[in-house]
Amino acid sequence: MAPPLVFLPGAGGSESFWEPVGQRLADLGDVVLFGYPGFGGVPADPGVKSLDDLYRWIVARLPAGASHVIAQSMGGIFAARLALEHPERVERLVLVATSGGIDVRRLGAAEWRHDYRASFPDVPSWFIDDRTDLTHRLAGIRAPTLLLWSDSDPISPPAIAHFLAERIGGARVVTVPGGTHAFANERPDEVATIIRSHLVPVQRP
């Protein structure tokens, strides 16, 4: 039975972000689109009061067994942590324009929190304030990993992809020219094709 495809959004927190790509990959397995409680119009959950709580909320709602996990932006923190702490739940990993749980500012990333707060005033403060750092644990990721980036994204510049690739064994970097931080939603045909090639690798004779 094919593994489900679990899609985790970024700071917008809306399941609609990944819907166009999910539709194009639905033939590979069941598509599970996450939205975060308290984000993107999803009702808040009183039990979710920190990023750690949100991570546990996600883990509790994952499909049984192993899934392909595809994550954008800050969703990559949850995906990387899942691959580290529950490797049996991650068949293949795709990190898209994500922090991956590292300090992106020292790698040239633009500060996004002020503008984000202005655009989404109802988002909980604990999400804005979190500074989860998984740098020293990244070498423990064993799932085959695709790092999909834009070459012109100020929020998550290519230096972050290469930093992650140096620490995640066997990780492959694919760069999309000219994309914004939301290119995975804006260019679903292109992105779905790249992700498909990672989830269904070519069998060599």
Phi, psi of 155 (to 5 degrees): -75, -35
Q: Is residue 73 part of a domain?
A: yes
Among 36-40, 142-146, 182-186, which stretch is predicted with the lowest mean pLDDT?
36-40
**Domain annotation covers residue 52:** yes
Confirm whether 119 is domain-assigned. Answer: yes
Within a domain: residue 204?
A: no
Maximum average pLDDT range among 91-105, 149-163, 185-199: 185-199
Number of structural domains in the chain: 1
Alpha helices in 65-106 (DSSP H): 75-85
pLDDT band at 53 (very low <50, low <70, confident <90, very high): very high
Q: What is the pLDDT of residues 64-80, one digit of tens each?
A: 999 999 999 889 999 99
Q: What is the pLDDT of residues 85-104, one digit of tens each?
A: 999 999 999 999 987 666 66
pTM: 0.91
Give the CATH number of the domain where residue 27 resides: 3.40.50.1820
Q: Which residue has the tokens 């779905």?
A: 192
